[in-house]
A and B are shown apart, each in its own frame.
Chain A
Amino acid sequence: MSGRLGVDIGGTFTDVVRLDLATGALLSAKVATDYADPVGGIVAGKTKVSTEREAESLHHATTLATNAILEGKLPKGALLTTKGFRDVLDIGRIQRPVEGIYDFNIDNPEPLIPRALRLEVAERIDAKGEVVAPLDEDAVRAVARELASQNVKSVAICCLFGFVNSAHERRIAEIVAAELPDAEISLSSAVSPEIREFERASTTVIDALLKPILLPYVSRLEERLGGDGVGQVRIMLASGGLTAPTLAGGQPAAMVNSGPAAGVLAAANLGRQMGLDDLVTIDMGGTSLDIGVVEGGRPVHKYEGRIAGYPLRLPMIDVAAVAAGGGSIAFVDQVGYIQVARESAGSDPGPACYGRGGTRPTITDADLILDRLGESFGGEGGFRLDREAAAAAMRTEIAEPLEIGVDDAAAGVLDIIQARMAKAISANTLEKGLDVRGLPLVVYGGAGPTHGAELAESMGMSRLVVPYLAGNFSAVGLLLCPLRWDISRMILRRIDELEAIDLAFQIGALDQEARTTLDAGGADTADLTTRWIAHMRYVGQSYDLPVDLGEPWQGELQPDVLDELIVRFHDLHQRRFAYRSEAETVELVQLRVSVIGTERDYPLPSGTQQGDARQGETRAVYFTAHGGRLDASVWDRRTLPSDWQVDGPAVVEGEGSSALIPPGWRAETDEWRNLVMTRTGEA
């Protein structure tokens, strides 16, 4: 019973890691995701990492929620809303996506609920929460009957100003529940109790539509794993914490993008152990590059994101996805320029070198052609990469049309994708007011380590960390995550109208509610810490800043807490926006409370790796910054002892990735078996 399992179900692979709680030993496995029976896939994957059937616990992230939205495989749902406002979901904020500026075929997505199922009821509450028009209950009943006849599986309820006064939403829910006893219901006042009706409705609708998928999934998961010797099942949320399966299933919008969040959390945790408090993370897989930022030892959070173009307003670890991965497809455009498409070959057919029928050249093909990847890249249980197929695709699609050599074609493809990735990473950190230069880059995902050092160099970064289990890093993060539940309340009042005691009362109530929720969900609520933040702004501003005084909630507040909040807000505003305006009135927009359990430290492997590092053949590897091939020593990652070092050009292969050490860089292994690279000089 001393093992803890982390299972991250991705679109292509299911990653399983096992932490021996006694020794700190980490084992990992990758199995193909079983779409027909994902839970069965977990049970199968579990046997791959250990012969021990029992496990203390299993921590789980899944892309099931994300994929259901991306692929549009959602159940039939309805939206009930205030009369006059059913089109809010369609109109949105009006602004088309930035990709559509010069391409009139690119749109914001159509609403997840069609207009015919967005129904209005007469009722109106004003900005102060006062009822301007009473709820027409007969109308609600009639609408609910209509929905029942249409076999609707779930209902989202979003009334204007429902976050100020939720009485109408709750009454509508009662009537709907009576008429449609089997339908799932989500209330905007519970899912996202914040101002701005479009973002709130969008989040509520996503939540409602995911429930009929995720609720049965988590209960099946808990039941089958319980029967298979697993003590406790915990589900990852995008906020960076775990919760009980029934709670997660009851608010499934919070499960969207939880896997990538676990990766950033693991990087932050590892960084703290290594004494690196600020860093940038990149996770490069087959289809996307996920970028995260860690500041002061904690992942940067955001409070609104998007999934498939739909706003999702919940607290989440900030992960920005860019369409650039190993499977990204290269082509020559009509005027003879090499381009890399947003489109990915995915896993099926995958890059040409997978030998599954892909004929269009990808980044992975370019890496293989230029010997940046070995042919046996997949490792044990993996597969041999087909060099001929890669070269043939590159020749037909790029080299021949341009009348150049295959190597030159592949080199051009890499230059372009790396420049695009570097721009995306730099731009993303700039938006947070950070300069990437001087920060370390933590690199993981199957394709990340191959490009990490070159990317870092082009961005002016000089330190790189490739964790030991870089290919399964998000699953490792799952092992460490604390229990967590987030809850918030809209305040929207000038801070000079508030008293410390009001604030304390509100925080106390939210804290109690969060703990009660966790408790009711069957989670162990001992050893929980409560943190709170206040979202603040100058009156009239349309955006706010999260102010954290840093002190955990202990049941009371100092009398001068409001003054302290104001000072912190001015300081934070100065830091983020380069000015402060002390003459202006400050408004407290939102209070947010998180109850958080204990995060486990990144495991230090017991004992050191014995024996000599195994060196393979030297091979001529292409390095982008050098612009040509260099003889590089090739090493087997699994055999590297903990005080090993090598100067580039070199390649370290194994554990699901191939890490390139360019000339001018030195790589060392540390006590966590990380590969730490430092730039030592000009190449």
Chain B
Amino acid sequence: MARSKNKAAKASDVRARVQSQVVRYALELVAEDMAVTLMRTARSTVIKEVQDLSCALFDRDGRVIVQSSHAPMLLAGSTLTMREALDALADRPLEPGDVIIANDPFRGGQHLMDVMMISPVHLEGALIGYVGAVAHHSDLGGASPGGVAGGLRDIFSEGLCFPFVKLYQAGLENRDLFAMIENNVRAPHKTLGDLRAQAAACLTGIRRFLEVVGRFGLKTITDCNDMLIAETEARLKAGIARLPDGVFVGEDTVDDDGVSDRPIPIRVKVEKQGERIVVDLTECGDQVEGNVNCPLATTLAAVQYGFVVALDKHVCPNHGCFNIIEVKTRKGSVVDPERPAATAARTNVSLKVQEATLMALAQMLPGEIMAPSHAQISHVAFVGTEPGTDRAFIYNDIFGGGAGARPAKDGRDAQDTHLARFMNTPTEMIEHEYPVRVRCYELVPDSGGAGTYRGALGVAREVEALTDKVVFSRYGDRQKFPVKGADGGGEGRPGRFVLNPDDEARSLKSKGVDELRRGDVVRIVTPGGGGYGAPSERRVDLLADDLMNGKITEGHIAAEYGEAMLDKVKAWLAGGIAAE
């Protein structure tokens, strides 16, 4: 009798879990619908095509339940933003149809360009939850479009910073605020269009959320919310249970902040004791004058992302992540900066926090974590005047680099990795629109770290100015400190920016501004990823394949794998050819 009761209880337990999965799909569809609305109605390419956005649903306490699957960088941000929002709005209750706008990096924001909107969801007059949409904007005023230029030193030069204010009140636009924004941005129709698209996403979200509540009932939704958070916690706990106790440290270095030449240390200390995990970032460098400071929300996203990919990729990225992984930071450090730090180029820090987190976890999970990746973003802009006209042109481009090798395969050359998610601009589109010529767009041989499995190659693009007075502004990183290898694997080769590579080549700073003349060529080289495992263990046929494909040279094999290996590769190739 006791046994069958037990069985009935188990069955009801499984039914509840299945129900929570069904509700998860339904809620995720609401978040997807919000994202589709946003992409559909937005004006700028970065939202429509690159999909640098995220939409989320929250419960009435502001806990994230589900998110749309777009930009992992925005993962933890919404939790923190919501916490700050509830604080800020404690004495100003939200009414149905209100939309709050916020992007303050020092109060739960990412960097200024990532603008968050939040709306309350009411059922029969009672607050039952929130919807939120965050999207990357191309410009919010400030000293340079999108804050791309290296060397900006405070948040005031980067653009408009919104505290938690109502952009919409009871469903109506706050016209004063819209007018204020319109007066302060470079392309008002784009910025305002994108803001309206975000608000439309929130309003769609409210409607759809209520439909789901109508279909399942509020009680079921509330129960499932708790279950989904508990499931995330259970998954992470199960993963953490596999980790050994102790203190494990991952370290990386940011080249500089673009103002001084001082390197910035990134140190992630993972302390595991029983069920408790503390990630201590207090030993990261102090906040800097340049714009690489990484706001807390992005720092948390970087750490949480590391744990999710290492422990259980089925994790529903919700509030459960926030509960389980305790992160300690030091106010005034580069990973938890204080006003008025400049933050536009934060990814050059956040990606290294994420890599250092994975390096620490790799020591705890031997053989499971990929080798470190390039962990930088090179953002370049060529700005000038179209020849024969007075029309300004701005050619923006973003570059990733080589990913790390995986424990059982090479890094996939030249693709985005981890937190970073973006798209390049095709050469033909560039030349169709701007007075530049792209001379090549290619993989960089020998740039991936050697190893049993090779790090991915970085890419290079050469851009020639076809007119005078073209301003080349950029921020990049990983030009001084190479990507490390894992488990005996070799380092990836750093990137660099070179002026006129064929003729009196001169290296340019990773973060800075220069003026180009007609005929000047800039070569942008991005770093390669780290290798995995001892190079001596690499299969000869894989080396031969790389050599034949020009991904590595004989010199590289000799230097990294040894002369004896080079002889083997040559013999293999000779045999291979003879066999054909």
Contacts and interface: CB of A to CB of B under 8 A. Distances in A.
Contacts of A408: 11, 14-15
Nearest to A421: B25
B443 A427 contact: no
B529 to A, nearest CB: 11
A431 B426 contact: no
Contact of B45 (A92, A110, A411, A542): A542
B537 interface: no
Given A84-B440, A107-B415, A195-B429, A102 B32 contact: no
Q: Which 10 pairs show the lowest CB-CB distances between chains A and B? A: A84-B440, A115-B549, A107-B412, A419-B25, A419-B22, A578-B41, A412-B18, A102-B313, A423-B25, A196-B426
A610 interface: no
Most B-side CB within 10 Å, residue of A92, A336, A431, A542:
A542
A333 B426 contact: no
Given A337-B17, A420-B25, A422-B25, A160 B11 contact: no
A85 B427 contact: yes
B309 to A, nearest CB: 5
B21 A416 contact: yes
B431 A126 contact: yes
B424 A94 contact: yes
A427 B189 CA distance: 29
Given A87-B443, A101-B69, A102-B309, A161 B428 contact: yes
Contacts of B309: 102-104
Contact of B14 (A93, A402, A422): A402
Given A84-B439, A423-B29, A98 B406 contact: no
A160 B427 contact: yes
Nearest to A405: B11
A160 B431 CA distance: 10
B442 A84 contact: yes
Most B-side CB within 10 Å, residue of A86, A101, A333:
A101
A405 B312 CA distance: 28
Interface string B21-37: 11001101100110010
Q: Is the interface of A mostly helix, strand, loop or mixed?
A: loop
Given A339-B314, A412-B17, 13 more contacts: A86-B442, A90-B413, A94-B414, A102-B308, A115-B549, A403-B10, A404-B14, A416-B21, A433-B40, A577-B40, A577-B41, A578-B41, A579-B193
A103 B314 CA distance: 9
Contacts of A419: 21-22, 25-26
B570 interface: no
B297 to A, nearest CB: 18
Interface string A409-434: 10110011001101100110011010
7 contacts: A88-B427, A94-B416, A415-B22, A422-B25, A430-B36, A431-B36, A541-B45
A62 to B, nearest CB: 31
Interface string B427-451: 1110111000111111100000000
Interface string B396-438: 0000100100100100111111100111101111011100011
Most B-side CB within 10 Å, residue of A95, A103, A108, A402:
A95
A542 B48 contact: yes
A51 interface: no
Interface of B: 6-7, 10-11, 14-15, 17-19, 21-22, 25-26, 28-29, 32-33, 36, 40-41, 43, 45, 48-50, 69, 72, 189, 193, 197, 200, 231, 234-235, 238, 305, 308-309, 312-315, 317, 370, 400, 403, 406, 409, 412-418, 421-424, 426-429, 431-433, 437-443, 459, 462, 545, 548-551
A518 B442 CA distance: 40
Interface in A37-95: 83-88, 90-95
A492 B28 CA distance: 39
A87 B414 contact: yes
B459 A87 contact: yes
Contacts of A635: none
Contacts of B50: 95
A349 B337 CA distance: 58
A330 to B, nearest CB: 11
Interface string A157-182: 00011000000000000000000000
Contacts of B49: 542-543
Contacts of B189: 581
Contacts of B403: 104
Given A338-B17, A422-B25, A433-B40, A104 B550 contact: no
Contacts of A87: 414, 441-443, 459
A94 B25 contact: no
Contacts of B422: 94-95
Contacts of A334: 238, 312
B443 A90 contact: yes
B22 A416 contact: yes
Nearest to B204: A430
A105 interface: yes
Given A338-B14, A404-B11, A94 B193 contact: no
A151 to B, nearest CB: 9
A540 B49 CA distance: 13
A91 B25 contact: no
Most B-side CB within 10 Å, residue of A102, A334, A579:
A102
Interface string A181-219: 000000000000001111000000000000000000000
A95 B40 contact: no
B441 A85 contact: yes
A196 B428 contact: yes
Given A85-B441, A403-B10, A412-B14, A423 B428 contact: no
Contacts of B550: 115-116
A430 B33 contact: yes
A664 interface: no
Contact of B428 (A195, A333, A336, A420): A195
A428 to B, nearest CB: 10
B199 to A, nearest CB: 12
Most A-side CB within 10 Å, residue of B32, B50, B415, B548:
B415
Contacts of B462: 84
Contacts of B17: 336-338, 412
Most B-side CB within 10 Å, residue of A338, A339, A408, A422:
A408
A626 interface: no
A114 interface: yes
Contacts of B424: 91, 93-94
A91 B414 contact: yes
A576 interface: yes
Nearest to B430: A127
Contacts of A22: none
A104 B310 CA distance: 10
B416 A96 contact: yes
Contacts of A336: 17
Contacts of B197: 578
Nearest to A427: B32
Given A87-B414, A94-B415, A96-B416, A335 B235 contact: yes
Nearest to B418: A104
A288 B84 CA distance: 44
Contacts of A339: 314
A122 to B, nearest CB: 12
A105 B40 contact: no
Contact of B7 (A403, A409, A577): A403
Most B-side CB within 10 Å, residue of A108, A126, A430:
A430
Nearest to A118: B549
Contacts of B437: 126, 132
Contacts of B426: 93, 195-198
Most A-side CB within 10 Å, residue of B22, B400, B423, B424:
B22
A450 B422 CA distance: 41
Contacts of B26: 419, 423
A95 B421 contact: yes
A440 B15 CA distance: 30
B525 to A, nearest CB: 13
Contacts of A110: 412
